[in-house]
Structure formats: C-alpha cells, structure tokens
Amino acid sequence: MAFVRVACVVFFVTGLPAQPQQAASAPVTSPAQGYRIAGIVVNSLSGQPIAAASVGIGPVANQGGAIPKAVTTGADGRFAFTGLARDKYSLMATARGFEMQFFEHHDAFATAIAVGPDLDSEHLVFRLEPDASIEGQVTDDYNDPILNAMVRLFERRIEDGLQKTSPMNQVQTDDTGHFHIGHLAQGKYYLAVAARPWYAQNDRSVLRRRQRTSEADTRAAREAAALDVTYPLTFFPNSPDSAGASPIVLHPGERATADVIMHAVPALHLLIRTGGNPNSSASGSTLFPMGGATNPQVWQRLFEGYLEPVFNAPVSRAQPSVVEIIGLAPGHYTIEMPSSSATNEKVVSRAWYQEIDLAGDAELNAGDAPAFATVNGSVSFPGATSVPKDASLRISNPVSGESFSSAISDKGQVDFSADAVRPGRYNVSLDGLRGFYLSKSSATGARLIGSTLEIGGENSVHVLCVAMRGIGQVDGVALRDGQPFAGAMVVLVPHDPTNNSPLFRRDQSDSDGTFTLRNVLPGQYTVVAMANGWDLEWSNPAALQPYLKGGEAVQVPGAGKLQIKVQVQ
C-alpha cells in the first residue's frame, strides 16, 4: 500500500486516561459483528509493549483522508478495532518518543491490513521504531561557542529509486553553541554547519579610509585582514567539502553526538562586473542581504550535485555596475544572476550563470558568462477539444533539485525563458492533470528521449510534447512458495528504464499479498517483487538488472486494470 504523506488528523492532546480496550477480550469475530484488526504495539528495539500508544486505521481507498477510528493501547500495548467491513486498512501508530509510523513502513510505503473471511488480522505485532536524535556543539578555533550557526542535516536515502542526499532539517545553535535535532528516523545522515565569524569584517571599504602615516596604514591593513575571514560550510566531522563528510548512521532510538569545529579562513572576494543597468540608483557601499532580486546568487554543489544556497556571503555593491561578493571561502561555486523581474525595473538585465573555482580573490565579467538556456515549446492534446485548465509542464533535475514549472497556455504554449535553466538532464512531466501522460515528445536544441530532456550547450531549446489520455492500473498478488507474501517491495519497471524514470511505479504488498500500481502509462513493463529490496536503487537499471528475468512482463493498455501474479525474489 502506498500512502500520501500523512495528511490525516494528528493531534496533540493531553493526559487522556488510557481508554479501556473495549474489545481486548472479545470473542472470535463473526461476519455479522464485522471483522477485527487487533494486535500489540511494541518497541522495535526492546520488544516491550508500548502503553498509551495511539493507533488509528483508515480504509486504504481513503488515502490521506481523516482517520475513521482511533484507539489507545492499554498497559499491555494491545489494541483492537472491531466491527470492520471487509476492506483493506492502513494502520498507523504513535506514542511519546515515537513519531507516527505506518505498519511495516518503508520509505513512503507500508503494509495495509486486509480483513475478510479466512484472513488473520488479529495477531499483528506493530514494531514502532523509537525516535533517534543528533546533538552537538559548534565551536571555533579558540574553543569559543558559535551561536546562531546554522546546522543543516542531510539524509542519504533512496528517492524515486535513486540514492540521493537531500536536506531534511535545519536548526540554529544556541548561545552555548549547542544544537539538538530530534524525532529522527533511523538512517544515514550528514551534517553541515554554516556560520559567519562574529567578528568578520569583510567589507574592505573601511580600509579606504586613509590613516595618517603609511606605518599606520600597514598596521590597519594587517589588522583588517585578521577580520576579513569566513567559515567554509563545514561538514561533520571536519571537512569543507561534502566528499569528506562522514555519515552519521542512526539506529532507532539512538542519541548521536556530532561536534563541529569551525576554522576561520581568509575570505575571498569575487568582483563581478555586471556591465548593466547604469541607471540603478545604487551608490556608495551598500550591503544587501543575499537573495535580493537583482543580486547574484551563490550556490555550492554538495554530495551528488544538490545545489545548496550559500548563506553567509554578503553582497556589496560598490558601484552601479560592480557587485562584490564578500566573505567566500575557497571552493567551487555556481554564481548566477537571475533575470530581474522587479516590477519597477524597466531595464531587464541579462541573466547568466558561471561555475567558478575560487582559490583567491577573483573577477568575473558577466558579459563573458554563459546565459541560461531558453526553453519553450508546446503541449498538444490530441483528441481533446481544448487544453485542460490549470495544467502545467514541469522540468526537474533530480540530481541538483532544480525544478521549473510553466503553465500551459490555452493555446498549449509553455515558456521557461524566465527560469534559470542550465545544461543537464531533466525529467519532463505534466502537473495538475490526471489521466494524461506525455508521449512521442521531441525537442530541438536538446535531446528529448522518453521523458528525459538532456540540455547541452545550445541556448535555445524548443520542446514539442504530446499529452495522451489514458492511465492504467496493475493489480496483483505477490507470491512466495505459492502463498501470498506480505510486505514485499513491488516495482513496475518500464521498457528502456534509462530514459523513462518517470514511468516507474512502486508499491508494497499488503497483509494478503496484494498490491496496486496506479497511474500506469500504456506500454511494456516488467513487474518485480522483492522480499528485502529496501536498500536497492530500484530505478537504477543496472541495480535492477539481476531481478528483471524473475519478474512478470506486462503490456499495459491505454486504460483499465490488469490482474497479475508475481513471484517474490
């Protein structure tokens, strides 16, 4: 069963007395009284029952909706729902120290409980994983605490079937340099700390104030250099580069410690000659916070290529056409100037980007920097009388996390020209449209194969997308030794998986071994079921290869449901 991110009503209430288990010792159910879901909630680490755990159920078909029933476990950890109609139910539970979890959950999937004749739904053991946490101390070279440092937590996990390291939380250190991140699930985490030295003085304009003697000038310059420093983004335990980051592997209930020492390094200054907009009113040395509409933005690529904004490098605008990014640590950066969309700015400045390796102060001439790709095109809807409303086309780079969306006009036009689209591999998909899929699409100025748009050096890209109606569904049962198998990972693998990653579908078999793969586009697929594939990069063709021959080939027509059986590997 797949579930949409918990949108159910979870509430914080207090000290409710543990409700008596109405049916804890009820007689065996008969269809006339309805069916039962019953079992015990235990701590996955200790196996001990969890008292006062809150347990809820809802029909699977009612995904994301309100929870029709909820009970609280007694001192023995037992729970029971009675009077249930024949159906499949999502089962979830939470308790103090246990974030809400679905039964036998893996990523966004879980095992739903099927109730009905000859189905045992009354001996469930719900293993809740206790929350883990990470805490630590951020200090400087002199063992002084760094307050208000931004601690970024990244998690490495399988996302859309590929190994990815993405940000998942951030906190700030307190006045003692301490931070704490709680309610973490088990997993592999990385920590990065961003901060600016409290004494940093990166604006060099103060040095332009002449002293009375050259000796004093020299002294002032030397002292100013001691303040013209910054901290690189520092990965636990002690690396300015994500490649040198050590994972923090959290087990359920673990309280990990991760201290980070920040080393101040001389700040580098990047002077950017924007060459444009001499009418700008900026004069004098004005400090802007990062992220202003017409200021360059600075990014760093982390891990597999995730684009992380640089938080601690202010921008100084000394002259209208010269921008200085002050306070950068040595490293590789992506600088980009978004097209100015400020409403009161008549002159639209040229948008550009530049990858740059900084080892010392540098200058960048914006005129020499490459422009973003201009992506536009059209989406046609053969057979439809008009373009559906509120539809949009999305191109997203799964590696960097960049994602752009363009509304589809009533004439079917899409335009990404205001977006900062760099060369790279993008997935193309339709947003806000149920029952449509992209087919036979093509592009000029870039390669568009299947639903993968590969933008190279060409600046002008035109896509021609065809949206077809028709969504199928594959229902099935996972079997091992002829018996239904609960909790298997089920993957629908498209033909030519390399270029069709948006066509993958996944589910987890429920307590009766059944599964449902929804929103399947027409075509040739293989359905694979695995008993223990949780660490598998399930949309990576190479990783899947060994399992494909044991899978079940299916041909999905334009619409309707298929019924299949798959052997669990």
Partner 1 sequence: MMGNCQSSSSLVHPLRVEQGFKDCVATGNEMRLWNKCGEMIDFEPLGGGICARRAHNPAGKPEIRPSRGAAIPVAMSDCSRHPRLIWKARAVFSSILWIALAGLSPAQIASAPSSRSSDAFSVSGTVVNSVTGEPIGRALVRVSGGVRTAFTDAEGHFQIEGVQEGSFVEAQKPGYFSPQDSDGSGRNKPGKAGSEAGSTLLKLTPLSAVYGRVTDGAGQPIERIPLRIVQRAVRDGRQRWDPLGSALSDEDGWFRFANLMPGVYYLAAGPGRDEIRILAVDEKPKTGYPMVYYPGASDLASASPIQLVPGQQTEADFSIAAVPVYHISGTMTGYRPDQSYGLLVLNQLGDPVSTPVRLHLDTGAFDIEALPAGSYVLKAMPPPGDQPLRAELPLNVTSNLDNVHLVLGPAISIPVMVHAESRTSNSTVGGWDSTVPPPVSVRVTRLESSASSAQMILEHGNRNNPTLELRNLDPGKYVLDLMPHSRWYVQSAVYGETNLLSDDLTVAPGQNYPMEIVLRDDGATLTGNVKSSDGTEAQATVLLVPQSTSRRSTKVGRSFPPNGFTLNALPPGEHLVFAFDHADKIEYANADALQPYASQAAHVTLTPNQETHVVLNLIHTGGGE
| Residues binding partner 1 (CB under 8 A) | 8-16, 54-56, 65-70, 72, 92-97, 99-100, 131, 133, 142, 144, 147-148, 174-176, 180, 182-183, 198-199, 201, 206-207, 209-213, 215-216, 219-220, 223-224, 226-227, 283-287
> Smallest distance, Å, CB 221 to partner 1?
10
Please name which of 273, 264, 254, 258 lies closest in space to residue 230, comparing C-alpha atoms. Answer: 264
CB-based contacts of 370: which residues, under 8 Å, 6+ apart? 352, 353, 354, 459
Q: What is the bridge-based pairing of β-strands 436-444 and 331-337?
A: unpaired
CB-based contacts of 348: which residues, under 8 Å, 6+ apart? 339, 340
Specify the residue, 283 or 365, whose C-beta has the smaller distance to partner 1: 283
User: Following DSSP, what letter does each residue of 159-223 receive, concatenated?
Assistant: ETTEEEEEEEEEEE--TTSEEEEEEEPSEEEEEEEE---TT----GGGGGS--SSHHHHHHHHHH
Question: Could you tell me how far CA 468 lies from the centroid of its own chain?
Answer: 28
Specify the residue, 57 or 474, whose C-beta has the smaller distance to partner 1: 57
Specify the residue, 102 or 504, whose C-beta has the smaller distance to partner 1: 102
Count the Cβ atoms, other than its own, within 10 Å of residue 265.
Answer: 16
Specify the residue, 210 or 440, whose C-beta has the smaller distance to partner 1: 210
Structure letter (DSSP) for residue 241: S
Please name which of 155, 242, 227, 131 lies closest in space to residue 193, comparing C-alpha atoms. Answer: 242
Specify the residue, 179 or 547, whose C-beta has the smaller distance to partner 1: 179
Specify the residue, 12 or 386, whose C-beta has the smaller distance to partner 1: 12
HEC secondary structure over 110-121? CCCEEECCCCCC
> Smallest distance, Å, CB 36 to partner 1?
17
Specify the residue, 251 or 332, whose C-beta has the smaller distance to partner 1: 251
> Smallest distance, Å, CB 283 to partner 1?
7
User: Following DSSP, what letter does each residue of 416-474 receive, concatenated?
Assistant: -TTS-BPSEEEEEEEES-SSEEEEEEEEESSEEETTEEEE-S-SEEEEEEEEEE--EEE
User: Following DSSP, what letter does each residue of 328-363 receive, concatenated?
Assistant: EPSEEEEEEEPPP--TT--S-PPPEEEEEEESS-EE
> Smallest distance, Å, CB 66 to partner 1?
4
Q: Which two tokens stand for residue 316?
A: 């100084």
Please name which of 120, 257, 254 lies closest in space to residue 178, comparing C-alpha atoms. Answer: 257
> Smallest distance, Å, CB 242 to partner 1?
28
Please name which of 200, 189, 155, 194 lies closest in space to residue 171, comparing C-alpha atoms. Answer: 194
User: Following DSSP, what letter does each residue of 269-334 receive, concatenated?
Assistant: EEEEE----TT----S-EEE-TT-TTS-EEEEEETTTEEEE--S--EEEEETTEEEEEEEPSEEEE
Specify the residue, 207 or 418, whose C-beta has the smaller distance to partner 1: 207
- By CB atoms closer than 10 A (0-12, 13-18, 19+), residue 25 is exposed
Structure letter (DSSP) for residue 267: P
> Smallest distance, Å, CB 1 to partner 1?
17
Question: Could you tell me how far CA 359 lies from the centroid of its own chain?
Answer: 31
Specify the residue, 11 or 28, whose C-beta has the smaller distance to partner 1: 11
> Smallest distance, Å, CB 427 to partner 1?
34
Q: How many CA atoms lie within 13 A of 3 on its CB side?
A: 31
Specify the residue, 13 or 28, whose C-beta has the smaller distance to partner 1: 13
> Smallest distance, Å, CB 360 to partner 1?
23
- Rounded Cα–Cα distance for residues 520 and 554 (Å): 11
Specify the residue, 281 or 386, whose C-beta has the smaller distance to partner 1: 281
- Rounded Cα–Cα distance for residues 361 and 272 (Å): 11
Q: What are phi and psi of 502, to 5 degrees?
A: -65, -10
> Smallest distance, Å, CB 432 to partner 1?
22
Specify the residue, 114 or 184, whose C-beta has the smaller distance to partner 1: 184
> Smallest distance, Å, CB 208 to partner 1?
9
> Smallest distance, Å, CB 110 to partner 1?
15
Specify the residue, 180 or 561, whose C-beta has the smaller distance to partner 1: 180
> Smallest distance, Å, CB 18 to partner 1?
12
What order do you get walking across the sheet with 413-415 strand by strand?
413-415, 374-380, 460-469, 436-444
Specify the residue, 219 or 251, whose C-beta has the smaller distance to partner 1: 219
Specify the residue, 68 or 266, whose C-beta has the smaller distance to partner 1: 68
> Smallest distance, Å, CB 5 to partner 1?
15
> Smallest distance, Å, CB 99 to partner 1?
8
- By CB atoms closer than 10 A (0-12, 13-18, 19+), residue 96 is exposed
Q: What is the bridge-based pairing of β-strands 403-407 and 392-396?
A: antiparallel
CA 161 → CA 83, 110, 239, 414, 491, distances in Å? 39, 16, 28, 29, 10
> Smallest distance, Å, CB 207 to partner 1?
8
